Amino acid sequence: MRLLSPEGTIASAPALAAAPVASLAGQKLAVLDNGKPNARLLLTTIAERLAVRTDAVVSLVAAKATAAEPAEPDILRQLAAARVVVTGSAD
Amino acid sequence: MALPDQMLTGDDGDGVVEVADESPEALWALLESRGWGDGLPVVAPTTERVERMLGVGGADPDASLGVVPPRDGAATVRTVAINAVMAGCQPELLPVVAAAVGALTRAEVNLRGVQATTHPVAPLVIVHGEVVDRCGFNAGTGTFGPGNRANASVGRAVRFVLMHVGGARPGAGDASTQGQPSKYTYCIAERVDASPWTAYHRSRGIDAASAVTVACGENPHNFHDMESAEPIRLLTKAASVMATLGTNNACISQGEFFVILCPEHAATIAGHGWGRRDVQSFLYERARLPRGVLREAFDTVAWVPWLAAIEDDSVLLPMTDDPDNIRVLVAGGAGKHSCVIPSWGMTKSVTVAIEP
């Protein structure tokens, strides 16, 4: 008996993970605060400690307008200037 | 769990699965092995059943209805039909399911957020117009369920699309902390024959014989009023249900509230000359909390600038920033129970015509 899959195909090309960064020395780190409670504190602390350990520079701390929606295009353009972006954090 | 060999005989890699038969045992094993379904029995989506489903209405099976996040699955008419078969829909219901799925993929719904959030939000499907009677939807007693095939299977088919095409499975794609019962199925029909006001979809500018609304929110919050013979005391109870600190709408000012009035409550309200807009305006004015209470409850709020600018803690702030965010329609049977459905917050309902 033949049954049809209810999943269908995926409409978008899969996103690829960025290549590992060999060294962060002298590189720009950015933080994207996703708007969840304590996200800015947590993520900025991680970025600052990472910068100290790797001789990188925290160049930008940006925030989404709300946790419930994607980051605005202008925010993404600003983040693109950094080599690494630290983000994440749920409730 | 691996599917027993005697039940699953092969997968040709093109979305077709070979199973030995459609016995409950074989289907249960298939669902479990693939992570499909909602935990209840399904109808086997055989080629024949799906073709029969697609034979109604004449829509192009490959036509795109949208992309369903977070998996970014392509919702085609065929894929939706497969899910509709599994959910138990009769073929004439496919246009309703397809319209609802298409509406959900509109940007203003913010479906990625709806699907992935820890909030229990589920899309409520509201069916309007001539399709209600033609396809046997229950707009009357027990419209939220259980017991009616059209209501139950349409809501379930939409949920299946969100799970299978969109990848919103609990824990993977759907982070809802507790879930909610309306994630199984959530579909009602507007009781236009008992409504004193214009059909809801026409009030939203949809000039069509039939339409569907999708509104992403919580389970219904009941309010009862057995005694009031005038609108103010009755609707003050609705306002009380709206003005609570537990909903996302308390800290997000653009949220919507669907107020589903039973026919008797609607008749009482309309009997005093109140129109739909009057109900919206009254609830906007009455469903309020002091600014200080709200700010004490939330460290972070997402309020429009004019609300955020108010600094006096004694000012009563509305639960939503615009009376139009309070949506009013009639459904249900005899009795004096109505309900309020608060939205998830960062989402807007969408109403679209149902294409035959």
pLDDT tens for B283-340 read 999 999 999 999 999 998 999 999 999 999 999 999 999 999 999 999 999 999 999 9
- Average of per-residue pLDDT across B56-79: 93
Quick one: pLDDT band at residue B220, thresholds 50, 70, 90?
Answer: very high
Q: How many CA atoms lie within 13 A of B28 on its CB side?
A: 6
| Chain A nearest C-alpha distance from B163 (Å) | 8
Distance in angstroms between the alpha carbons of the first and the last residue of chain B: 41
Residue B319 · residue B250 · CB < 8 Å = yes
B8, pLDDT greater than 50: no
The answer, for B164 touching chain A at a CB cutoff of 8 Å, is: yes
Give the pLDDT of residue A36. 86
**ipTM of this predicted complex?**
0.90
User: Contacts of residue A69 in chain B, CB cutoff 8 Å?
Assistant: 110, 113, 346
A85, pLDDT greater than 50: yes
Quick one: pLDDT band at residue B14, thresholds 50, 70, 90?
Answer: low
Cis preceding linkage at B305, omega within 30: no
User: Contacts of residue A9 in chain B, CB cutoff 8 Å?
Assistant: 15, 73-74
Give the pLDDT of residue B102. 98
Helix axes B149-160, B94-104, angle to 10 degrees: 40
One-letter identity of residue B243:
A
Quick one: pLDDT band at residue A68, thresholds 50, 70, 90?
Answer: confident
The answer, for B302 touching chain A at a CB cutoff of 8 Å, is: yes
The answer, for A12 touching chain B at a CB cutoff of 8 Å, is: yes
The answer, for B79 touching chain A at a CB cutoff of 8 Å, is: yes
Q: What is the pLDDT of residues B26-44, one digit of tens each?
A: 999 999 999 999 999 999 9
- Average of per-residue pLDDT across B206-227: 98
Phi, psi angle pair for A4, to nearest 5°? -100, 140
Give the pLDDT of residue B12. 46
Give the pLDDT of residue B59. 86
Q: What is the pLDDT of residues B124-134, one digit of tens each?
A: 999 999 999 99
User: Contacts of residue B74 in chain A, CB cutoff 8 Å?
Assistant: 8-11
| Chain A nearest C-alpha distance from B187 (Å) | 21
Whether residue A10 and residue B73 make contact (CB cut-off 8 A), yes or no, is: yes
- Average of per-residue pLDDT across B129-153: 98
Quick one: pLDDT band at residue A13, thresholds 50, 70, 90?
Answer: confident
- Average of per-residue pLDDT across A9-14: 86
Q: SS3 for A5?
A: coil
Q: How many CB pairs under 8 A join A and B?
A: 93
Percent of chain B with pLDDT over 90: 91
Residue B245 · residue B297 · CB < 8 Å = yes
pLDDT, chain B, mean: 95
The span from the CA of B46 to the CA of B305, in Å, is: 54
